[in-house]
Structure 1
Amino acid sequence: MLATACSADSLDESFRMPESTAIENLDQFCCTIVTIYGSHYLRAPTTDDLDRLLKRAEKRGFPGMLGSLDCMHWQWKNCPTGWQGSFSGKTRKPTIVLEAVADFDIWIWHAFFGIPGPQNDITILGRSPLFDELTAGNSPQLSYEINNHRHNTGYYLADGIYPKWATLVQSIRRPQTEEEVYFSKKQESYRKDVENCVWNTPSTTCNC
């Protein structure tokens, strides 16, 4: 079912397995994967991870950068009929928006999806748990300097649709000076980290 996106009721003849049993087995398989690999892959960065990320970001000219943030729409091929209206936007096809944060190793540290309705990056961010730790006062304590100013909050690289928050660094839309052109070029170049994750995939169709 995961590999070929076939439905549960299509397995009864091939495997002599009723639909309910196929769904139960798939659920147990997914729970097992989370149990085995969740502590390593499905987690927030540890102190050692943050140290490695920040050192690499500083070498790239962005001290304090934790990763790159972006969203994309996945067409939901097998969306239940009763939900299609809620998950359909201007394309009139049901989609799921995936919000992700990735680093230079194309490692996804944050993934959030499943919000119904025609959404854009801003509305997804408003419901995302990405900054829950920050608003709760539990964010990692950092210390770095940019233009002779000390900062203690990490940030993410984002595109122009995101709000102008201290935790989001956008590219300059219309760079005028040589410094602005250089900054925009570097910022957009490093945002390729997350774009390689969420856009350059074998398929943009969600078969779940």
Structure 2
Amino acid sequence: MAHANLMNNYFNPNSVYTEEDYRRRFRMRRYVFERLLYDVQQINPYFRQKRDRAGRPGFSPHQKVTVALQMVAYGSPADSINETHCLFESTCLYTLEQLCDTIVQVYKDECLYKPNQEDLNRLIRKAEDRGFPGMIRLLDCMHWDWKNYPTG
């Protein structure tokens, strides 16, 4: 039932929520989610739906990825997920661990590389435009005056 609700609300044609609602709630566009879902299913069998010993379908790939992303995007505690997605705390934590490991495995060459000088210059310019000079350095070494900084 949780899977059916998730699909009807977000993924089926004529879903309850619009693309804008989806982007606001999931912090990504639907096509990015679908690509991520496809990619992790290709690498990690955990994200493919299986049947339990009684022959009932287990948690869907959509449920697993949604739960993990919700925990990351909102900092949702694992024990609060049970109310909306019907996954127990231990399953949520395991799913999050599996998703993080799989994302690193899938995207490390494309996204997780040491930045070159051009990348650093672009990031520094973008950060300075937003009022965060020196963002590439450690945050505790930034040159910000904080009048109430705890000392002593």
After TM superposition, is the score higher than 0.5?
Answer: no
**TM-score, normalised to structure 2's length?**
0.34
Query: Which structure shows the higher helix fraction?
Result: 2
